[in-house]
Structure 1
């Protein structure tokens, strides 16, 4: 009964948020950017909830906590400092200033203006819309596994409910609804994660942090070692992928240019970082201690292979792990995190598809009203596509790695280097984007989507293109000086 009550209350709040935002969303700017007037705390929570979802709480915490033990806490450091704090400090202010001055509402628009090539707008928009679908699917799958084990309901039904609710508040309220929902969901997440850490460490099988580490050491000393020769490459790859990846994801970057003012960037950076620390510490505490709670026996498939995506759901459903009401709150936490991430992904991909691919082709045939309507239709289409893909058998972490590798890999170098380096050229951008796509496609063809090395390929797809862009730019003709002056000189 506690589950049902918490779920009904949560869904009722989301409906209320949708109706409230609907009355304040009439223009394209309102729907896609919240009028560029989102308060700093709301932006900070929105960044955090877009970052962390069932993917980290179920996929990453389960597989990486089980595999790496306490050394998985390197991911906590990477996600909090690199993926959050440095992202705000390095990208936030300059992104807010340049996108507003250049009147760019999306990453494809900014990249096209920055490099004086409208074809880049269409190419990047297509990549975002297509390759964010696997990421959205990974969010669905994480939630489906958990609710299936808890309620005994088919995961496809749970994913369908999530699709309908997310589509409802996005279609009605757009970015404003998503931001308000993110703030509410962020508060719920903090409360739930604090409770989670308390009950995990208090469990008889764990007996506190110190005793838990000793027990892990007894199973395998590598589980408490900072890093080993066997875990170095996959662990470093994981940290880079999950931390640098956010720098090139449109749903994350959008938080920078929708914040109310540049002066609020520092506040948002601190709040987002604290949020990231709380969530990641909770997730990887649960993941690293999962071996103890499950008596070092992982869920397996018919072939004897470990089903990592079921580890955390089994931990949470272990008898006596925590009171029913606390588990109910945690289920809402994971639901909230997943819906926030899904909403950000859907909004970012749909906005770029309409604004950067469809509208330029339609020229002046789409007025403000028709554009908003098309944005809402695209939101519906995207969540439906993600739902269909989620019904496949690919693990959560691998879907996540594929999506981040392609999207962030193609966008990070043109975006990051384009913000700061005047010498970057159009040829360098195309070369860097092609490099990222080739790395990820070769990974899928040669190693397969289910390969344990998919995160290494993904991390490479984010780093190597930056080098390629610089080298090719130095070897090709630079952009007109007048254009560079237009891009970098403030009014």
Structure 2
């Protein structure tokens, strides 16, 4: 059977299953709490897979694995290990139980609503809702970008063809999220997670096998010069640039603690036992999927070259109009070489599964936040039926904006994600984390974190990504500093914003007034009751 025909057949089966799950769960979605949180009764397996599949998408498999594999070689595997331990295992045990108890007691369905009830401030809810909507858009765009790269490789699509693929995927994700909400997302995530585990394992094995086994592949990698012109670094344990590699680990691992689409998984989980089981399951999932993706990406230089006229037989990766290497093409090039044609359909479904599971969580988080936190407080007689209608409308709006951004040919996957995660977790990480543990955390500290998190990301975006000529002189000074410190990439800027959030919240709280005592006592009463029972 022709490869494209087989791939289309696999895709058709996959799409039918996705939409069927949407119709199935739509009959069991009767309220906004069902639509947004699955009735707060989601078990350990569904929660763990939903957490993992929301975490990892085409951004990791296509964008980050290619870029960081090129930059750091096999040491990029540390990013996957960090994702498993810091990004998956620790948050389940550290904030999972407290998040479930406190959000349930406060009746919070979203992170902005949590800020409102925990700190007694409607203004915090409004500001955080706007931050969520605005900065989830570039992340969604980065997922679409990754999908279009892979489909373009498999089906020989031009620039316009890739845009059509992006639109088709937006429509598909909108259909099943609109039909079934959180329940449809969780069930689909479980099915998609199984595909991801099988697919990633297959890709890793074939990537190494194509280069005559692990030992020879590592030896060959060490003979290739890194970006500094050195050898014996790309196959080493810590790679050619461990400091900047640490920045990637922080951004992609610590960031999950403050991302609304991740934290809200704990709002919906069934009970404490489900949290404990979910921690183990999600960590295993992350080791296989994230660890496997970055390990596979570590070998892209054996398959790709950025040197025109190179006679090594590797695929030439050209530069974009901005002069930068198009890292997003590297993993598709690797797959084209390492994967037998008969398995291309599996890879397409793998990346599609990883991406749609993330997209569904992003659009659901964004639409529910806007509806619940911005529209509902300002509209009278806004019952469940009207809320679900408006949420479904916002899903469409959110996807349309994301598609427009993703269609920009110079939109880098890693850059889009870095700005998104940097702004969101840079704004929310400190206030959310300390809000769960420290009673004296103040509203002023929340505002300080919101301003610094968004400010750092937006400032970096204006200076380095928007090409505004008025800032050329300032940009030159910052670039000169960057040559010395090498800490001002979008990735490191995002990681820095997160660390600032953690540092600034307790400092500002120590010098400013805590929320009203009744508000604090109410927020922590559920935790104290649970501790007495234990």
Report the TM-score when normalising by structure 2: 0.88
Whole-angstrom distance in 2 between the partners of 1:286 and 1:374: 42
2:302 is aligned with 1:292: yes
Matched with 1:272 is 282
Matched with 2:369 is 352
- Residue number among 403, 408, 421 corresponding to 1:387 in the alignment: 403
Whole-angstrom distance in 1 between the partners of 2:320 and 2:452: 38
Q: How does 1:331-346 map to 2 (within 5 A)?
A: 331-346=348-363
Whole-angstrom distance in 1 between the partners of 2:134 and 2:489: 23
Matched with 2:152 is 148
Matched with 2:326 is 307
Indicate the RMSD between aligned Cα atoms, in angstroms. Answer: 1.5
2:469 is aligned with 1:448: no
2:343 is aligned with 1:326: yes
Matched with 1:483 is 519
Matched with 1:235 is 245
Residue range with higher mean Cα deviation, 119-128 or 480-489: 480-489
Q: CA deviation at 1:102?
A: 1.1
Whole-angstrom distance in 1 between the partners of 2:93 and 2:185: 23
Whole-angstrom distance in 1 between the partners of 2:496 and 2:433: 16
Q: Check whether the contact 1:195–1:326 (CA below 8 A) recurs between aligned residues.
A: no
- Residue number among 380, 383, 392 corresponding to 1:367 in the alignment: 383
Paired residues, what number? Answer: 485
Matched with 1:401 is 418
Matched with 2:234 is 223
Q: Check whether the contact 2:174–2:396 (CA below 8 A) recurs between aligned residues.
A: yes
Matched with 2:219 is 214
* Secondary structure at the counterpart of residue 223 of structure 1: coil
Matched with 1:164 is 171
Q: Check whether the contact 2:76–2:295 (CA below 8 A) recurs between aligned residues.
A: no
Q: Check whether the contact 1:346–1:383 (CA below 8 A) recurs between aligned residues.
A: yes
Q: Check whether the contact 1:234–1:453 (CA below 8 A) recurs between aligned residues.
A: no
Q: CA deviation at 1:297?
A: 5.2
- Residue number among 463, 466, 469 corresponding to 2:499 in the alignment: 463
Shift >4 Å, 4+ stretches = 295-298, 449-452
Q: Check whether the contact 1:34–1:176 (CA below 8 A) recurs between aligned residues.
A: yes
Segments of 5+ residues of structure 1 without an aligned counterpart are none
Q: Check whether the contact 1:406–1:440 (CA below 8 A) recurs between aligned residues.
A: yes
2:458 is aligned with 1:438: no
- Residue number among 509, 514, 522 corresponding to 1:473 in the alignment: 509
- Residue number among 172, 183, 192 corresponding to 1:176 in the alignment: 183
2:20 is aligned with 1:27: no
Whole-angstrom distance in 1 between the partners of 2:370 and 2:357: 20
Segments of 5+ residues of structure 2 without an aligned counterpart are 225-230, 305-311, 468-478, 480-487, 530-534
Q: 1:117-176 CA deviation, whole Å, 9 max, x = no partner?
A: 111111000110111000000000000011011102311011011011000001111111
Q: CA deviation at 1:473?
A: 0.8
Q: CA deviation at 1:325?
A: 2.8
Q: 1:56-113 CA deviation, whole Å, 9 max, x = no partner?
A: 0000000000110011011011100000000111111110111111111110111111
2:73 is aligned with 1:69: yes
Report the TM-score when normalising by structure 1: 0.96
Mark the CA change 1:298 to 1:111 in structure 2 (over 3 Å): closer, same or farther. farther
Whole-angstrom distance in 1 between the partners of 2:378 and 2:320: 50
Mark the CA change 1:168 to 1:38 in structure 2 (over 3 Å): closer, same or farther. same
Q: Check whether the contact 2:178–2:395 (CA below 8 A) recurs between aligned residues.
A: yes
* Secondary structure at the counterpart of residue 366 of structure 1: coil
Residue range with higher mean Cα deviation, 215-224 or 353-362: 215-224
Q: 1:7-61 CA deviation, whole Å, 9 max, x = no partner?
A: 0000010111011011111210111111111111011000000000000000000
Whole-angstrom distance in 2 between the partners of 1:233 and 1:444: 22
Q: Check whether the contact 1:291–1:297 (CA below 8 A) recurs between aligned residues.
A: no
Q: CA deviation at 1:302?
A: 5.9
Matched with 1:283 is 293
Whole-angstrom distance in 2 between the partners of 1:347 and 1:261: 22
